[in-house]
A = this chain, B = another copy of it.
Amino acid sequence: MQAEIITIGDEILIGQIVDTNSQFIGQQLNKIGVAVYQITSIQDDEQHILNALKEAQSRVDIVILTGGLGPTKDDITKKTIAKFFNDDKIVEYPEVITHIKGLFAKMNHPFKEIQRYQAQLPSKATLLMNHFGTAPGMWFYENETVFVSLPGVPYEMKGLIKNQVLPRIQKQFKLPFIIHKTIMTYGQGESTIAEIIEDFENSLPKHIKLAYLPSYGRVRLRLSAKGEERIELENELNAAVAKIYQLIPDIITGLDDDASLEKRVGELLKTSNKTICTAESLTGGKIAATLVSVAGASAYFSGSFVTYTAAVKNKILNVSKETIEKHTLVSKQVALEMAKGAKEKLQTNYAIAVTGNAGPTTDKNTDNLGTVFIALATDSKAIVEEFNFGQPREKVINRTVSKALEILQREIL
């Protein structure tokens, strides 16, 4: 069973927004055994939408559209869908009017006539009521193809996918199983890993695929299997994973949901009943945000300080003025004092601190461009390491976050 996701909106094509809807829909479809064959982003243009619908219909069984359902003039998805279905007529659905009036009453907004347009849909549509907004989703089944049209607002789309679209797809089709297992590694490049596991990779059966996903010093190895028998697939994948563990035991941080360093670190902290805080400069809070992105982080994450200036580093974290003057802000000594200061303030078991020069700089002195110091204070000691992550800025910040978590994991273990 294959699907195509079509996202409609000029704002995607001119790069004004990132299309995150497709990612979510892709994940959700995969979980129920529907493979996404293609994602297509197109303009708010009638002919373009008609072409995309026709092409998708020739390729896949399920077509999911998002966007273009608003009440304004640039939203043309509904009337274009009506045209696509042999000039279906547009009719008003009274239950949608009732729903919108209810929503507006709750917010103490008056109902406006322009909202009536949200209730006018192709007559062939099966309504998918939208509890978070005014534009309903629509379900069509024509010529053995499912077409679903959803609003582009992410939380409205997500509610409709989870509560209405997935259950309907599962009812409509007999679905195979698609299983992924992802192994997270760190410290080695993809070419090195590929060399070591080459024979293993060549021996994989055709229905199991291996992909390398490198990013900022980590490489994820994703194994995907597709078939009719869930248990058999699970067994095959588990055997493949075990083999990879044998081949590269030293560089694996975890598997699947446990695969991210932040989850792994979080679990280690939770089971050992320890707490952590961060003191950040160039990363602007991103290490804390990464730690907090794990559900249940409040059990071990106490708080964080973003300290940009010398004055604030001194005032909040007790980094001494002499240290800053003697060694500059980007130094081993400042990183160490930041870590110790944060640990002292929040009385945690661990404190990570980072200081560095992420660039770009207008300064003539670019000696320390890309230089980063990462310090870790624990109950028994304080360590600091120096790195140069080069350029650009984005890479320096992301590698700092990744490396800080690696150091933390190494110390906890």
Please list the residues of chain A having a beta carbon within 8 angstroms of any beta carbon in chain B: 9-20, 22-28, 30, 35-44, 48, 55, 70-74, 109, 112, 114-115, 132, 153-155, 158-159, 180, 182, 189-192, 194-195, 201, 209-215, 220, 222, 224, 284-286, 288-289, 292, 298, 301-309, 312, 315-316, 345-347, 390-392, 394-395
A10 to B26 alpha-carbon distance, docked (Å): 10
B residues in contact with A392, CB < 8 Å: 132, 155, 158-159
Known: A14-B36, A25-B15. A395 touches B288 (CB 8 A): no
Query: What are 16 A-B contacts with C-beta separation under 8 Å?
Result: A13-B35, A13-B36, A18-B23, A37-B48, A38-B40, A38-B43, A38-B48, A39-B39, A55-B55, A70-B190, A114-B194, A285-B285, A298-B308, A304-B305, A316-B345, A316-B346
B residues in contact with A112, CB < 8 Å: 191-192, 195
A190 to B298 alpha-carbon distance, docked (Å): 37
Most chain B CB within a 10 A radius of its CB, from A39, A224, A345: A39
Most chain B CB within a 10 A radius of its CB, from A153, A222, A306: A306
Q: How many copies does the complex hold?
A: 2
Q: By the criterion CB–CB under 8 Å, are B303 and A306 in contact?
A: yes
B residues in contact with A394, CB < 8 Å: 154-155
Q: By the criterion CB–CB under 8 Å, are A10 and B346 in contact?
A: no
Q: By the criterion CB–CB under 8 Å, are B17 and A213 in contact?
A: yes
A13-B35, A285-B306 known; 19 new pairs, CB 8 Å cut-off, are A10-B209, A15-B23, A15-B24, A15-B28, A16-B213, A17-B23, A19-B19, A38-B43, A39-B39, A40-B40, A70-B190, A72-B191, A72-B212, A74-B209, A159-B392, A285-B292, A288-B306, A303-B316, A304-B305
Q: By the criterion CB–CB under 8 Å, are B195 and A114 in contact?
A: yes
CB distance from A65 to the nearest CB of B (A): 14
B residues in contact with A41, CB < 8 Å: 22, 38-40
B residues in contact with A28, CB < 8 Å: 15
CB distance from A24 to the nearest CB of B (A): 7
B residues in contact with A390, CB < 8 Å: 132
Which residue on B lies nearest to A13, using beta carbons? Answer: B36
Known: A16-B213, A288-B284. A224 touches B10 (CB 8 A): yes
Most chain B CB within a 10 A radius of its CB, from A15, A36, A41, A224: A15
Q: Which 5 A-B pairs have the closest CB atoms?
A: A15-B26, A15-B27, A39-B41, A285-B285, A13-B36
Known: A71-B191, A74-B212, A155-B394. A30 touches B42 (CB 8 A): no
Q: By the criterion CB–CB under 8 Å, are B72 and A194 in contact?
A: yes
Of B73, B195, B308, the residue contacting A301 (CB under 8 A) is: B308
Most chain B CB within a 10 A radius of its CB, from A40, A214, A312: A312
Which residue on B lies nearest to A394, using beta carbons? Answer: B155
B residues in contact with A305, CB < 8 Å: 303-305
CB distance from A278 to the nearest CB of B (A): 9
Of B24, B189, B211, B347, the residue contacting A11 (CB under 8 A) is: B211
Most chain B CB within a 10 A radius of its CB, from A14, A20, A214: A14
Most chain B CB within a 10 A radius of its CB, from A20, A210, A215, A316: A316
CB distance from A279 to the nearest CB of B (A): 10
Known: A11-B213, A306-B285. A73 touches B222 (CB 8 A): no
A346 to B309 alpha-carbon distance, docked (Å): 11
Most chain B CB within a 10 A radius of its CB, from A38, A182, A292: A38
Q: By the criterion CB–CB under 8 Å, are B182 and A16 in contact?
A: yes
CB distance from A275 to the nearest CB of B (A): 10
Which residue on B lies nearest to A213, using beta carbons? Answer: B11
CB distance from A331 to the nearest CB of B (A): 18
